[in-house]
Structure 1
Amino acid sequence: MLAACRGVDSSLFFHPEGERGAARSARETSAKEVCMRCPVRAECAAHALAVREPYGVWGGLTEDEREELMGRARTRLISAAPSGAPAAGPGSGAT
């Protein structure tokens, strides 16, 4: 399967330096529209989360949305850890 973004100008998915507010929101909305019709959207989002991709719209998720999801996952790991035991996860030293 081919990704829906294949052949689309990558500037749609990555913000130019200094882009803010309405311009950024409009570009992200357009990028997400491409993602929503993509047959590999879930795989793309999973990849971006797995490698902690810091930039762009991947699998329909913006940088901020991915960061929020990662923060929620960290919170769940910490709250699920037995009392007094460190939570396993990135940077914890646990394998």
Structure 2
Amino acid sequence: MSRLPGRAEHHWLWQEDAACRELGSRLFFYPTGEQRAEREARDAAAKEVCALCPVQRDCLRHALEVGEPFGVWGGLTAHERRELRRAGAGRRALRSTG
């Protein structure tokens, strides 16, 4: 008898349909030493990609569930996700995304 949990593709399969899949990580994660104005512009560009993404909710749900500490996920920056969690809205966001 196996005690392994079994297949788990369902945890990441949504990523195959992500709008950012072929864009690389530079747009979504800030480099060391990035200035505030540059970060704001990069975050805004990343959020534009997220706004058109068919799996935006899945992405945000993932980031909230695992406590992703960096980058833009599901259209929110790490700071914005921390604020959601701090306000207790993260649980509500997870429930409303199905």
Name the TM-score, length of structure 1 as normaliser. 0.74
Aligned partner of 1:61 in structure 2 is: 76
**Residue 25 of structure 2 is aligned to residue 10 of structure 1:** yes
- What's the CA shift string for 1:37-91, capped at 9, x where partnerless? 00000010011001000000000000100000000018xxxxxxxxxxxxxxxxx
Q: Aligned partners of 1:72, 1:14: CA distance in 2, in Å? A: 24
Measure how far apart 1:9 and its partner are: 2.1
Aligned equivalents of 2:47, 2:27: Cα separation in 1: 10
Q: Which runs of 5+ in 2 are unaligned?
A: 1-15, 90-98
- State the aligned residue count: 74
| Cross-structure match for 2:11 | none
Shift of 1:7: 0.3
SS at match of 1:10: coil
3-state SS of the aligned residue for 1:12? coil
Is the counterpart of residue 70 in structure 1 residue 70 in structure 2? no
Identity of aligned residues (%): 55
Paired AA for residue 46 in structure 1: R
TM-score normalised to the size of structure 2?
0.72
- What stretches of structure 1 move > 4 A for 4+ residues in a row? none
Is there any run of 5+ residues in structure 1 with no aligned partner, and where? 75-95
Residue 46 of structure 1: aligned partner: 61
